[in-house]
Amino acid sequence: GAPVEVDIGDIPVGTMKTVEWRGKPVWIIHRSPEQIAGLKTQDALLADPQSKRPGFTPKYAENEGRSRKPEIFVCVGICTHLGCSPTSHFETGGGGGMGASWQGGFLCPCHGSTFDLAGRVYKNKPAPDNLEVPPYQYLTDSRIIVG
Ligand code: FES
């Protein structure tokens, strides 16, 4: 499939946009400073907080936010368990059936896998891996190309 150019300048903070790339949904999430700070609090709860498992995190996304820039998170919106599409939950505290430490993220309706706002899967969930970060680059501050 062809690369897809995406205008990211119009995504309000704390929301996301979905585009299609190679027949898959790609999410672009505009994280707030609070959401970025919240990522740091989740490591002990996550299966692979440093994204060490191969195949899902390009080199440039091997950081806490799994992204080229902290405020913009790009991932493939397909659960790494059996391929359902998780839903977004941007509220904090007790959301997504999680405890008070919940900082927002994604919940897979099929078998309950849960991911944080960097697509990192929580422990003891059926999904084995973090959500995939696709290849992407910045063309300008407000435009990226996926693929
Ligand atoms: Fe997402 Fe099974 S497909 S938890």
Cβ count within 10 A of residue 146: 21
DSSP 133: P
- Whether the predicted interface score ipTM is above 0.85: yes
Ligand 1 pocket test, candidate residues 78, 80, 108, 130, most atoms within 8 A of CB = 108
Q: Each residue of 5-60: pLDDT tens digit?
A: 999 999 999 999 999 999 999 999 999 999 999 999 999 999 999 999 999 999 99
Question: Cα separations (Å) of 18 from 24, 30, 64, 81, 91?
Answer: 10, 12, 22, 20, 19
Active-site residue identified among 30, 81, 89, 111: 111
Q: Report the C-alpha gap between 134 and 62 in whole angstroms.
A: 13
Mean pLDDT, the chain, rounded, equals: 94
Strand partners, 121: 115
Q: Each residue of 123-136: pLDDT tens digit?
A: 999 999 999 999 99
34 C-alpha to ligand 1 centroid (Å):
28
pTM value surpassing 0.90: yes
Q: Residue 95: its pLDDT value, please?
A: 56
Q: Each residue of 56-100: pLDDT tens digit?
A: 999 999 999 999 999 999 999 999 999 999 999 998 886 556 678
111 included as an active-site residue: yes
139 C-alpha to ligand 1 centroid (Å):
33
